[in-house]
Amino acid sequence: MKMGMRRAAVGLFAVAAIAGSSPAFAWSQTHYGAKAWTEQSDTVMNIRDLEADGNSVKAEYYRNAHPADKLTLWNKGGAEGPADNDGNPGTVESGKHSTIFRAQACEVRNNLPDHCGGMESF
């Protein structure tokens, strides 16, 4: 009987731990060599370069504090560039500010239109 109670307690603890944990990110988009995602309840934007092809990447996004202003987070360091605060290599991270509600990931191409994943609201 003790073993059954112990298993039940371990199971309840595991369910509580999973339910109480927050996701690593809330929104994500990968397009060509760019991966953008939000974290910390959509208050931090990240942009990662996935390809060592010489093209910069950027995240374009909107925040609640200034909903008419499109913001751009650039990553010109490449796939082997410095890591963000979470240790993701080749990633640039914004500061924590008001909630982000719309965004897209783009690979920048010189003298050609940028490849963007399409502006998504969330």
Which tens digit of pLDDT belongs to each residue from 65-113?
999 999 999 999 999 999 998 999 999 999 999 999 999 999 999 999 9
Cα separation values, 71 from 18, 58, 60, 84, Å: 34, 10, 6, 19
pTM, 2 dp: 0.79
Supply the mean pLDDT for the chain.
86
* Complete domains list, the chain, with CATH: 24-121 (2.60.40)
Question: CA-CA distance, 97 to 73, in Å (whole number)?
Answer: 13
What are the tens digits of pLDDT across the range 102-116?
999 999 999 999 999
Best CA proximity match to 27, nearest among 95, 105, 122, 98 = 122
**Average pLDDT, integer, range 40-55:** 96
14 or 43, which is more confident: 43
- CB 41, CB 73: distance < 8 Å: no
Distance CA 55, CA 113 (A): 12
